[in-house]
């Protein structure tokens, strides 16, 4: 119940500020939304007019965005994937219907422009609902990986101690909630596919969910390791017939991957584009910032979310004892860490903690549940206390971040986080 109250509080705060601050403000949010808004309003992916009139970017950011150059004349590049826009479409369609109905009934006189408050409310509520569904899917997956009765505890404590509440319930225009939903849906479909090896729909659904994850954040391709492991497990049970699962996985992913390629073709003139490379954002593959990505006050994973250190210990223990899905969970988490640490901006700019570990939280939830399961009773009580304190700490730091009481794009130490409590009251206007 505390977790639900926390979630509803975050959603309510986001909705309450819509009259004077746009819910999709920010660079990443805007460009995620432009794939949907430009197509729905103008029937194209020519973003210049959208950017010129959008209420979600400052004038400096508008000028910066319009200065980007594509190989296709009159096209503004968009380095973000189309997945968030695809997943947001039902919320957008609902807003379209409500705006049209309200205009027809004389309740208001609103443009069907994609920007007004009706669209914002529908999109926020839609993503919040997806966030709750994602947690339900995560619970269903972890329940098949780890014995009861600690599944709910593992899922909820990791959620409360991570960046997910902010990106699922508040800053919904970022891709991280969409990625977690997609990977959780893929994992659920894969475990169902292994439970019913002759059924085809789980493999098709898993492929679709993985395809959606990849086109939401391209580095989410590492979670295809779960699909490879599931196909291998099916192969051990059914032999050559396991090839059918691979075909259905590919068929499910193809529409989303194809859509992304079409989008690149329209905007960049090529079917495949390393969009971050086009904008000069490189990766230092031979010199990843491992310690910084984990332990730096500049959004390091364990520094900002210390509870996840416990979950990582549980994940490692789980992999050591059980192998199977746990080993895949470790592999995907390490691969995610490597990619994040290799990027030039390993702190991920304005970020509530380490937002870039979005889908890695699924295996960490299982690790946390396993830790509760395996510890003796006395140690489990200590773990309960630690999780309660660290979960409360994460909520406190989220409030500091949400209200801009602490910097969003600079290192912040624990001492500075504690000292910020004296300034919190004056910042509660929710910057």
For residue range 277-318, list pLDDT tens digits in order.
666 678 899 999 999 999 999 999 999 999 999 999 999 999
Determine the Cα–Cα distance for residues 28 and 79; give it in Å rounded to an integer: 9
Least confidently predicted of 217-226, 232-241, 291-300, 404-413:
232-241
Is the per-residue pLDDT at 431 higher than 50? no
- pLDDT value of position 46: 92
For residue 213, what are the CA distances in angstroms to 41, 222, 257? Answer: 25, 10, 10
Helix, strand, coil % in the chain, rounded to nearest 5: 70, 0, 30
- pLDDT value of position 280: 66
Which of residues 162 and 67 earns the better pLDDT score? 162
- pLDDT value of position 241: 66
Least confidently predicted of 145-149, 359-363, 393-397:
145-149
* Number of Cα atoms under 13 Å in the Cβ half of residue 100: 6
Please list the alpha-helical segments (H only) found in 57-150.
59-66, 83-105, 117-145
Percent of the chain with pLDDT over 70: 97
The set of long-range contacts for 217-223, using a CB threshold of 8 Å and a minimum separation of 24, is 217/81, 217/83, 217/175, 217/176, 217/179, 217/358, 218/81, 219/336, 219/339, 219/340, 220/179, 220/182, 220/183, 220/359, 222/332, 222/335, 222/336, 222/339, 223/183, 223/186, 223/332, 223/359
Give the number of other CB atoms < 10 A from CB of residue 223.
26
| Residue 325 near residue 229 (C-beta atoms within 8 A) | yes
For residue 188, what are the CA distances in angstroms to 182, 210, 316? Answer: 10, 11, 22
State the average pLDDT over residues 241-253: 87
- pLDDT value of position 429: 57
Between helices 377-402 and 307-322, what is the axis angle to 10°?
130
Is the per-residue pLDDT at 36 higher than 90? yes
- pLDDT value of position 411: 97
Closest listed residue to residue 279, CA positions, set 25, 24, 28: 28
For residue range 154-191, list pLDDT tens digits in order.
999 999 999 999 999 999 999 999 999 999 999 999 99
* Number of Cα atoms under 13 Å in the Cβ half of residue 49: 10
State the average pLDDT over residues 100-117: 93
Highest mean pLDDT among 15-19, 40-44, 209-213: 209-213
Determine the Cα–Cα distance for residues 277 and 342; give it in Å rounded to an integer: 14
- pLDDT value of position 180: 98
- pLDDT value of position 430: 46
- pLDDT value of position 303: 98
- pLDDT value of position 3: 82
Per-domain boundaries in the chain? 2-270+286-404
353: tokens are: 């903690």
| Residue 172 near residue 353 (C-beta atoms within 8 A) | no
Length of the chain: 431
- pLDDT value of position 274: 83
- pLDDT value of position 197: 74
State the average pLDDT over residues 87-108: 96
- Residues ≥6 apart with Cβ < 8 Å to 93: none
pTM (two decimals): 0.95
- Dihedral sign (CA 411, 417, 420, 425): positive
Is the per-residue pLDDT at 205 higher than 90? yes
Determine the Cα–Cα distance for residues 342 and 338; give it in Å rounded to an integer: 6
238: tokens are: 């059914």
Percent of the chain with pLDDT over 90: 82
State the average pLDDT over residues 50-68: 90
Is the per-residue pLDDT at 237 higher than 70? no
Lookup result for tokens 């979630």: 7
Average pLDDT, the chain: 93
């Amino acid at each position: 119940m505390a977790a639900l109250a926390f979630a509803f509080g975050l959603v309510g705060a986001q909705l309450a500020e819509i009259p004077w601050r746009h819910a999709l403000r920010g660079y990443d949010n805007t460009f995620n939304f432009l794939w949907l808004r430009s197509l729905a309003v103008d029937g194209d992916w020519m973003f210049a007019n959208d950017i010129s009139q959008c209420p979600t970017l400052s004038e400096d950011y508008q000028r910066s965005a319009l200065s980007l150059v594509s190989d296709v004349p009159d096209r503004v590049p968009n380095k973000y994937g189309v997945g968030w826009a695809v997943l947001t479409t039902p919320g957008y369609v609902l807003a379209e219907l409500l705006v049209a109905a309200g205009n027809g009934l004389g309740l208001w006189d609103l443009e069907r422009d994609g920007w007004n408050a009706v669209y914002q409310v529908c999109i926020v509520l839609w993503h919040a609902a997806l966030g709750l569904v994602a947690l339900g899917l995560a619970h269903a997956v972890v329940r098949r990986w780890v014995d009861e009765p600690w599944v709910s505890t593992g899922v909820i404590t990791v959620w409360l101690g991570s960046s997910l509440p902010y990106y699922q319930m508040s800053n919904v225009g970022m891709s991280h909630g969409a990625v977690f939903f997609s990977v959780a849906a893929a994992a659920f479909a894969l475990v169902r596919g292994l439970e019913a090896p002759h059924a085809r729909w789980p493999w098709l659904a898993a492929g679709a969910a993985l395809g959606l994850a990849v086109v939401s954040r391209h580095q989410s391709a590492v979670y295809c390791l779960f699909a490879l492991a599931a196909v291998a497990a099916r192969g051990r049970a059914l032999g050559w017939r396991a090839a059918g699962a691979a075909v259905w996985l590919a068929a499910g992913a193809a529409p989303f991957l194809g859509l992304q390629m079409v989008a690149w073709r329209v905007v960049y003139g090529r079917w495949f584009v390393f969009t971050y490379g086009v904008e000069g954002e490189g990766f230092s593959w031979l010199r990843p910032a491992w310690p910084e990505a984990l332990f730096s006050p500049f959004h390091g994973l364990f520094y900002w979310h210390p509870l996840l250190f416990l979950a990582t210990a549980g994940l490692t223990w789980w992999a050591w004892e059980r192998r199977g899905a746990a080993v895949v969970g470790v592999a995907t988490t390490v691969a995610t860490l490597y990619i994040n640490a290799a990027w030039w901006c390993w702190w991920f700019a304005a970020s509530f903690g380490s937002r870039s570990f979005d889908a890695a939280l699924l295996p960490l939830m299982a690790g946390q549940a396993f830790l509760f399961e395996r510890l003796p009773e006395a140690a489990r009580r200590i773990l309960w206390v630690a999780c309660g304190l660290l979960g409360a700490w994460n909520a406190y730091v989220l409030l500091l971040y949400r209200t801009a009481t602490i910097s969003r794009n600079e290192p912040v130490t624990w001492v500075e986080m504690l000292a910020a409590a004296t300034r919190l009251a004056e910042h509660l206007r929710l910057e």
